[in-house]
Amino acid sequence: MEKPIEVILLKQAEDFTDSIDVNPKKKLFQAIRKTKERLFGQWFTKLKNSDGIFEFRIDDSGKYYRLFAFWDTEGEEISLVVATHGLIKKTNKTPPYEIRKAEKIKREYFEEKNKKAKK
């Protein structure tokens, strides 16, 4: 049996979701819910040219809302999708510096997790 999926939002991701309007927020959390139910589609995709970075992506009124994330499958009980931060774009292109930012947050997350595990 596959491990359940849980989605957690780091501080920057939480701040982002708190800052957006109600309609895109509903769509974003619907995409998160689908992912937790192991339903995958264009709302949650791996970014090309990245080190394991994914994004929740929704379109609302011509704006693209993106919430960057990565997988933490090291746990025995659950698989985590860790959301790092988000942005709103008017185009469908992902800025490379946002991918690098998510990769940096991912590295820091696992470094901190490994430090705690060694204690």
Instruction: Enter the DSSP assignment of 1.
Output: -
DSSP percent split of the chain into helix, strand, coil, nearest 5: 40, 30, 30
Q: What is the pLDDT of residue 94?
A: 86
Give the pLDDT band of residue 1 (cuts 50, 70, 90). Answer: low
Q: What is the pLDDT of residue 8?
A: 96
> What global pTM score does this model have?
0.92
Q: What is the pLDDT of residue 71?
A: 96
Output the CA angle 92-10-101, nearest 5 degrees. Answer: 50
The answer to whether 68 and 99 have CB atoms below 8 angstroms apart is: yes
Instruction: Give residue-wise pLDDT tens across range 27-44.
Output: 999 999 999 999 988 899
Q: pLDDT: is 18 or 114 the higher one?
A: 18
Instruction: Give residue-wise pLDDT tens across range 50-107.
Output: 999 999 999 998 899 999 999 999 888 899 999 999 999 888 788 899 999 999 999 9
CATH no., domain 5-118? 3.30.2310.20
Instruction: Give residue-wise pLDDT tens across range 5-15.
Output: 999 999 999 99
